[in-house]
Amino acid sequence: MLQINTPVNTWIGIDISKDKLDACLLRTSGKPLHKVFDNTADGHHRLIDWAVSQSRHGVRHFCMESTGRYGLALAHQLSEASEYVSVVNPATIKYSGPGGSANKTDKADALKIAHFARKESPNLWEPSSPEIAELSSLVRHKSDLDQDLRRQLNRLQEPGHGSVVKTSIETLVSQIRERIVMIDAEIEKHINDHPDLKETKDLLETIPGVGSETSTLFLAEIPNPKNFDSAQALAAFFGLSPRERQSGKWRGKTTISKTGSSFVRSRLYMPAMSAVRYNPRIKALYERLLAAGKCKMSSLIAAMRKLVMIAYGILKHRRPFDANHGDRDAVVA
């Protein structure tokens, strides 16, 4: 992992949403400065220019939460501008202690993130390789097409369509299916054209229960393993960390945090079902939790988490799955 090796005197916390960026700039002295920018390429340039204008002779450290696609372009832009930038799991910041207003607003969140960056000096973000970024783009586009196909098929089942509308929907279904076949071919070609991707995909498929679709998902969507201290940190990135609700003597159900990127988490149900059947380590975990009284869904979520952690171990150590090394996937870097 990359660490900051130059003294920083300016910290910029950025709260990210689909359409805007709430930025808070802290310096070693003076009041925090706040400004809002559009979450567009032009807005990214304006944010950088603003931060530079407020700290012309300073060393800046930008920090944002990992929010999937909404912040990825900005992280790349900051990295290309040779700025220090950290992308941190939201749970880490949420439970890092007070850091601003008690009000839950975008402005207050940006201030909290800036305080977190100043206090913790998190490791720097490393962008994925261009070939991984391209693969991720293809995988995301195929997911969008899959959703479009399901939407149109559902519409086709609705009663009351006239012949013109029905024909139009059928045409759309046919076109979307053709595009999915084309994108699947592009994904396969892209992986085969890059030997490192093909080798990594083959390694991931040594995990029992992980087939071609799941290995491609992991290959495209698991960020650079160097950005994570441990397998648990990666699981937290996808919102798969257990969270227990407790107040006084009352203790509620243990759930998952659901913070962080949801794209992979939402696609892990079927792979986890397969792993529960075919992966000896995950099957043992699942059965142990059921025997302890956990419900099936809670046990399956634990299987999802374990599957991600095993994938981290494969990517980190570059060795095939080995059922005899049960703790290797959780080694701290």
Residue 261 has pLDDT above 80, yes or no: no
200 belongs to a structural domain: no
pLDDT given at position 158: 94
Band (pLDDT 50/70/90 cuts) for residue 320 is very high
| Buried b or exposed e, range 19-31, using 16+ CB within 10 angstroms | ebbbbbbbbeeee
227 belongs to a structural domain: yes
Judgement on whether residues 17 and 97 belong to the same structural domain of the protein: yes
Band (pLDDT 50/70/90 cuts) for residue 287 is very high
Range of the domain at 154: 130-193
Task: Give 218-285 as a DSSP string.
Answer: HHHHS--GGG-SSHHHHHHHTT--EEEEEETTEEEEEEE---S--TTGGG-HHHHHHHHHH-HHHHHH
Total Cβ atoms within 10 A of residue 143? 15
52 belongs to a structural domain: yes
Residue 247 has pLDDT above 60, yes or no: no
Judgement on whether residues 178 and 100 belong to the same structural domain of the protein: no
Query: For the chain, what's the residue count?
Result: 333
pLDDT given at position 312: 93
Judgement on whether residues 312 and 270 belong to the same structural domain of the protein: yes
Strands 10-16 and 20-27: antiparallel
What are the backbone dihedrals phi and psi of residue 320, each rounded to the nearest 5 degrees, phi first? -65, 160
Band (pLDDT 50/70/90 cuts) for residue 309 is very high
Nearest to 207 by CA among 135, 139, 281, 264: 281
Average of pLDDT values for 74-87? 92
According to DSSP, the residues that pair with 258 across neighbouring strands are none
What are the backbone dihedrals phi and psi of residue 82, each rounded to the nearest 5 degrees, phi first? 60, 30
Q: Look at residues 120, 141, 158 and tell me which one is the last residue of a structural domain.
A: 120
Judgement on whether residues 227 and 323 belong to the same structural domain of the protein: yes
92 alpha-carbon distance from chain centroid: 14
pLDDT given at position 20: 94
Judgement on whether residues 307 and 235 belong to the same structural domain of the protein: yes
201 belongs to a structural domain: no
Residue 171 has pLDDT above 50, yes or no: yes
Q: What is the spatial distance between Cα 146 and Cα 33, in angstroms, rounded to a whole number?
A: 43
Judgement on whether residues 147 and 235 belong to the same structural domain of the protein: no
Band (pLDDT 50/70/90 cuts) for residue 90 is confident
CATH number, domain of 115, equals 3.30.420.40
Q: What is the spatial distance between Cα 75 and Cα 15, in angstroms, rounded to a whole number?
A: 13
pLDDT given at position 27: 93
Give 219-245 pLDDT, tens digit per residue: 998 877 877 778 888 887 787 866 544
Q: What is the spatial distance between Cα 324 and Cα 313, in angstroms, rounded to a whole number?
A: 13
Q: What is the spatial distance between Cα 75 and Cα 257, in angstroms, rounded to a whole number?
A: 24
Band (pLDDT 50/70/90 cuts) for residue 246 is very low
Structural contact between residues 256 and 240, judged by C-beta atoms closer than 8 angstroms: yes
Judgement on whether residues 76 and 164 belong to the same structural domain of the protein: no
| Of 300 and 237, more confident | 300
Average of pLDDT values for 168-189? 98
Whole-model pTM: value is 0.75
Q: What is the spatial distance between Cα 123 and Cα 63, in angstroms, rounded to a whole number?
A: 10
Most confident of 91-105, 115-129, 148-162, 243-257: 148-162
Q: What is the spatial distance between Cα 295 and Cα 299, in angstroms, rounded to a whole number?
A: 6
Judgement on whether residues 235 and 268 belong to the same structural domain of the protein: yes
pLDDT given at position 254: 47
The DSSP 8-state label assigned to residue 128 in this structure reads P
Give 24-43 pLDDT, tens digit per residue: 999 988 899 999 999 999 99
Structural contact between residues 153 and 177, judged by C-beta atoms closer than 8 angstroms: no
148 belongs to a structural domain: yes
Structural contact between residues 113 and 24, judged by C-beta atoms closer than 8 angstroms: yes
209 belongs to a structural domain: no
What is the average pLDDT score of the chain?
86
In the chain, the number of structural domains is: 3
Average of pLDDT values for 147-171? 95
Q: What is the spatial distance between Cα 316 and Cα 328, in angstroms, rounded to a whole number?
A: 10
Total Cβ atoms within 10 A of residue 177? 13
pLDDT given at position 329: 46
Half-sphere exposure in the Cβ direction for 242 (13 Å, CA) = 16
pLDDT given at position 103: 54
Q: What is the spatial distance between Cα 219 and Cα 201, in angstroms, rounded to a whole number?
A: 6
Give 4-21 pLDDT, tens digit per residue: 667 899 999 999 988 999
198 belongs to a structural domain: no
Band (pLDDT 50/70/90 cuts) for residue 259 is low
Q: What is the spatial distance between Cα 51 and Cα 35, in angstroms, rounded to a whole number?
A: 10
Judgement on whether residues 224 and 308 belong to the same structural domain of the protein: yes
Residue with tokens 């095993």: 310
Judgement on whether residues 230 and 148 belong to the same structural domain of the protein: no
Average of pLDDT values for 122-139? 89
Q: What is the spatial distance between Cα 305 and Cα 177, in angstroms, rounded to a whole number?
A: 32
Judgement on whether residues 249 and 290 belong to the same structural domain of the protein: yes
Q: Which of 82-96, 125-139, 209-223, 250-264 has the lowest mean pLDDT?
A: 250-264
Judgement on whether residues 23 and 45 belong to the same structural domain of the protein: yes
